[in-house]
Amino acid sequence: MIKTKNSDSLADKLAQLYKGISEIIKQFQPEVLSIEEAFYGKNVKTALLMGHVRGVAMVAGRHAELEVHEYAARKIKSAVTGNGAADKQQVLFMVKRLLKLKEDPVTMDASDALAIAICHGLNYKLAKLGT
């Protein structure tokens, strides 16, 4: 898990995030990076910060020469639960069931990340079947 200090500047936090993601990519050597598309919520500040974080993750992925795939939240939820309007608990339940996990993922963010991976796997498989 990548942690930053509240007292760090935004630039320092983003640099730490980039370094952490780069290290994870180097360690696990994935072939692709899948990420949730930007969302437009009520809180502009949160949306802006998430945009920064998404950008750093995407740059780290491209710098490591990974394919980067983006998926809308509704598409992720639909792929995992069959309902594009599913709530986080429904996504968690299905992630746990689909992956046959005995315990819940450590955080809801981890559950969301697994849901994105499942969505990409399903979409990738469908795309390959279509060619």
Query: In this predicted model, what pLDDT tens digit does every residue of 33-61 receive, in sequence order?
Result: 999 998 777 788 888 999 999 999 999 99
Domain that holds residue 47: 10-71
Residue 3 lies in a domain: no
* Same domain for 86 and 34: no
Residue 105 lies in a domain: yes
CB 50 within 8 A of CB 38: yes
* Same domain for 129 and 88: yes
70 φ, ψ to 5°? -115, 140
Domain boundary among 30, 46, 71: 71
Question: Mind listing the pLDDT tens digit for each residue in 21-33?
Answer: 999 999 999 999 9
Residue 2 lies in a domain: no
